[in-house]
Amino acid sequence: MPATSMEELVSLCKRRGFIFQGSEIYGGLQGFYDYGPLGVELKNNIKAAWWRSNVYERDDMEGLDASIIMHRQVLRHSGHEATFSDPMIDNKKNNKRYRLDHLVKDQKADVIAKVAAAMGESAENFPAVVAALNANPAQASQALKDAGVRDPFSGEVGDWTEPKPFNMMFKTTIGPVADDESYGYLRPETAQGIFTNFKNVVDSTSRRLPFGIAQIGKAFRNEITPRNFIFRVRELEQMEIEFFCTPGTDEEWHEHWLEKRLSWWEAQGVPRSKIEILDVPKEDLAHYSKRTYDLMYDYPTLGHEEIEGIANRSDYDLGSHTKNQSELGLVANVEENLDSIAKLTIPHPETNKPVVPFVIEPSAGVDRALLAVLSEAFTKETLENGNERIVLKLRPHLAPIKVAVIPLARNKAELVDLARSIKSDLQKLGLGRILLEDSGNIGKAYRRHDEVGTPYCVTVDFDTVGKGDDATLTGTVTVRDRDTLAQERVKISELTAYLQAKLK
């Protein structure tokens, strides 16, 4: 059974070294997390699985790694300077600040109903309620007070200001000159690096429509209220594809990607039955979107929340960057001279005339993926002897440690040396991390490796080296299976082939 509460996951992550609070020794920095020894392995494995499936296993994809800090013109003309904001609202009684939609959503049902009624909307259509609150700030402030909206911090009814937009981009100065022009933005999505390199990739690879560009990287959002562990953070990582296609084929490709992405999640152990597909209502679409499917995973404690967005971004971004380069005098008059000078176009596959392609964008968060994968793998079992064990039933390709090699006694050089050499041989298979676990206590080692999801433990004991009770076991080791708990004696000479087959 998967995790039933977020606390269970948070506690496991901290206890076993998956995730720590960022800047913890100085009191922590809200919305920032550090991935520890096991977290970094799990994260890398998720990213590798995504890259394998979306880049290596397709014939219509290229990869990219663009810089994080971007020219302010990019984010201006992408529309982010004007619209990448969330509505914030303050409680005048204690100066606490909240994201408006989160504040209202977390109220009791009768309070939400009162707010909705005051704004002339139905509580069933929450995005419409939020849209009405944003559009009418003065009425919103009054509606929240009249409905008795409580401050989550104090628990009392707040004295609410008018909501106003808060831009979530992090701005930073560039170079030693501190004037008003010398700044850039930390990208709020990796996508813009793909759009600005569109022409470079097309020219250097001779790609024709349809094809995609994939990228994994950090993005930064100055969330008003980061919360729910790594679910909503200020420094996040995204796995994004911009898939370019001929206008008119976009809706078909949108369905293709929805299907592809759902099967990818399934292969990571996140079943379709746990993901709801939200066809995002018009009033809730991002500024660039023609249509978006949000994949809503059923997180423990949180319920259904977005794990991935699959947007039809139309020709918005490439069109906007092309047009604006023209306005800035970087490209002369695009509309009239599209054939010769337009930068972000590609020949139409049938007419060969330059066309600004449409874009389908599957965009998944690595942090939210990791949380979902952990949550599905988390299992509490009662063993035959009545003891309880926690085991992470991760798919082997995601497990942070593939095999732990354990010498039965840490102070017997013969056992430790043999274990080290077995570890070294297994490591050469390229399966991922193999760990020499010489902490000494076999029971504790098994418990630890169950909890961190190590699929196999290999134990080197006195029989292995011919100093036990059973001479027939010389040259063999015990292989313990995480899920079945079965223990099998395997010849050292056959161990690599045995584990390779199991971990494939």
Whose Cβ is closer to ligand ATP: residue 193's or residue 407's? 193
Q: Which helix (H) or strand (E) segment is 285 a member of?
A: none
Smallest gap from Cβ 238 to ligand ATP, in A, equals 5
Smallest gap from Cβ 232 to ligand ATP, in A, equals 4
Whose Cβ is closer to ligand ATP: residue 217's or residue 365's? 365
Q: Crossing angle of helices 137-147/109-118, nearest 10°?
A: 140
Residue with tokens 């290999």: 458
What string of DSSP letters covers 230-277?
A: TTB-SEEEEEEEEEEE-TTSHHHHHHHHHHHHHHHHHHTT--GGGEEE
Cα separation, 378 vs 399, in Å, equals: 12
Smallest gap from Cβ 311 to ligand ATP, in A, equals 7
Whose Cβ is closer to ligand ATP: residue 207's or residue 313's? 313
The SS3 call for residue 313 is: strand
Whose Cβ is closer to ligand ATP: residue 152's or residue 354's? 152
User: 371 and 269 in contact (C-beta within 8 Å)?
Assistant: no
CA atoms within 13 A on the CB side of 443: 2
Whose Cβ is closer to ligand ATP: residue 274's or residue 368's? 368
The CA R_g of the chain, rounded to the nearest whole Å, is 27
Smallest gap from Cβ 307 to ligand ATP, in A, equals 5
Smallest gap from Cβ 289 to ligand ATP, in A, equals 9
Residue nearest to ligand ATP (CB): 365
Question: The dihedral of CA 211, 217, 221, 226: what is its sign?
Answer: positive
Cα distances from 144 to residues 151, 189, 300, in angstroms, run 11, 32, 29
State CA 114 to chain mean position distance.
35
Question: Which residues, 6 or more positions from 451, have their beta carbon under 8 angstroms from its beta carbon?
Answer: 12, 15, 16, 390, 391, 392
Smallest gap from Cβ 278 to ligand ATP, in A, equals 10
Smallest gap from Cβ 363 to ligand ATP, in A, equals 4
Whose Cβ is closer to ligand ATP: residue 357's or residue 362's? 362
Cα separation, 38 vs 18, in Å, equals: 5
Q: Which helix (H) or strand (E) segment is 163 a member of?
A: none
Smallest gap from Cβ 222 to ligand ATP, in A, equals 9
Smallest gap from Cβ 237 to ligand ATP, in A, equals 8
Smallest gap from Cβ 173 to ligand ATP, in A, equals 24
Whose Cβ is closer to ligand ATP: residue 171's or residue 218's? 218
User: Contact positions toward ligand ATP, by CB under 6 A?
Assistant: 221, 223, 232-233, 236, 238, 306-309, 363-365, 367-368
Whose Cβ is closer to ligand ATP: residue 376's or residue 437's? 376
Q: Is the peptide bond before 407 cis (omega within 30 degrees of 0)?
A: no
Cα separation, 21 vs 33, in Å, equals: 5
What is the total residue count of the chain?
504
Cα separation, 240 vs 281, in Å, equals: 22
User: 83 and 146 in contact (C-beta within 8 Å)?
Assistant: no
Whose Cβ is closer to ligand ATP: residue 238's or residue 268's? 238
Closest CA to 284 of 81, 131, 486: 131
Helix, strand, coil percentages for the chain (3-state, nearest 5): 35, 25, 35
Smallest gap from Cβ 226 to ligand ATP, in A, equals 7
Whose Cβ is closer to ligand ATP: residue 157's or residue 302's? 302
Smallest gap from Cβ 109 to ligand ATP, in A, equals 21
Long-range CB pairs of 94-101 (<8 Å, 24+ gap) are 94/151, 94/153, 94/154, 96/151, 96/153, 96/154, 97/224, 97/225, 98/151, 98/152, 98/224, 98/225, 99/223, 99/224, 99/225, 100/130, 100/133, 100/134, 100/140, 100/163, 101/126, 101/130
Whose Cβ is closer to ligand ATP: residue 232's or residue 449's? 232
Whose Cβ is closer to ligand ATP: residue 269's or residue 354's? 269
Q: What b/e sequence results for 323-344 when a residue is b if at least 16 CB atoms lie within 10 Å of its CB, and e otherwise?
A: bbbbeeeebeebeeeeeebbbb
Whose Cβ is closer to ligand ATP: residue 102's or residue 423's? 102
Smallest gap from Cβ 364 to ligand ATP, in A, equals 5
